[in-house]
Amino acid sequence: MMTIKLKDKIVWITGASGGIGEALAKAFAQEGAIVVLSARRVAELERVRLSLPSPEKHLTLALDICDEQAQQQALAELLARYGKLDWLINNAGISQRALVMDTTGETDRKIMEIDYFAQVALSRRVLSVMLQQKNGQLVFISSVAGLVGTQFRGSYSAAKAALHLWANSVRAELFEQGIRVSVVFPGFVKTAVSMNALTGNGDALGKMDDAQASAMTAEQFATASLKALKAGKSYIVIGGFKEKLAAMIGRFSPELLYKLIRKSKVR
């Protein structure tokens, strides 16, 4: 089995100021990677950086993922310091908790902008560097919701599904040029994602879902993700039994999946 070595690899993680992004940063740093942390909250990024082994090796880059000029500036700063970029982990994103008929078009577009268009724009910029290097790894944090589609997450599911299929196309087009692409599909993870999830009018939900409150920790998710990524996996589903089962049924019996989802309680 393949085992990818991470020591001294330059790994850029977006959405790294907490939750899954913070846990991934710690997991990669423990493997010897040099981690570049990006998010909007600079103070939180610094907190994360200082918690890593050999914090002086790592870098924080403030970034609004939807600002393409800021993307270019951040990439330039990264390259000025390290001269290369080995991995990009597209983790920044926002979730949703609203029925489709209660969601405004403006909220639809905001979710797609953050969860799809911004990720694609940054990835394309990074790919221009990786193609010159003739190697690189893209990782997209999608969602089981992007595989199955569930109530209260219509726009979010659509954005995460779009990200998955764009990643598939990149993998097909650029594999021979040294580019590897992995997509990770988390189930419920105990983070603040539901607190920040958008309601139909674009406001933050402001509370944690019961399913997330009792879910796996971000650290457990990061450990499982790292193991699969080091093994060279491209399609990685991480979650509880029900989430993994739903993802599997969706691939082999979509009609059965639709029936199960209609009966499920996923809020």
The residues annotated with a catalytic role in the active site are 156
Residue 16 vs residues 4, 25, 168, 194, 237: alpha-carbon distances, Å: 22, 7, 24, 17, 21
For residue 97, which of 163, 145, 161 has the smallest C-alpha distance? 145
Contact present, 162 and 185 (Cβ < 8 Å): no
Helix (H) or strand (E) holding 93: none
Measure the CA–CA gap between 33 and 8, rounded to whole angstroms. Answer: 5
Strand ranges for the chain from DSSP E: 10-14, 34-39, 59-62, 87-90, 136-141, 179-186, 189-190, 216-217, 235-238
